[in-house]
Amino acid sequence: DEKNCIGCSFCEAACPTHAIEMSIPVIT
């Protein structure tokens, strides 16, 4: 679910299910 990767620009490139755990709220 890409919506789960919102807030993680570098995670959007490859957004698997486990990416949510890796997704760090990077606020630019």
The pLDDT value given to residue 14: 57
pTM over 0.85: no
Hey, what's the torsion of the CAs at 25, 2, 21, 11, to 10 degrees? -60
Q: pLDDT tens digits for 2-15? A: 455 555 566 555 55
CB 5 within 8 A of CB 25: no
Tokens of 27: 């606020």
Distance between CA 26 and CA 8 in Å, rounded?
Answer: 6
The pLDDT value given to residue 16: 57
Percentage of residues in the chain with pLDDT exceeding 70? 0
The pLDDT value given to residue 1: 46
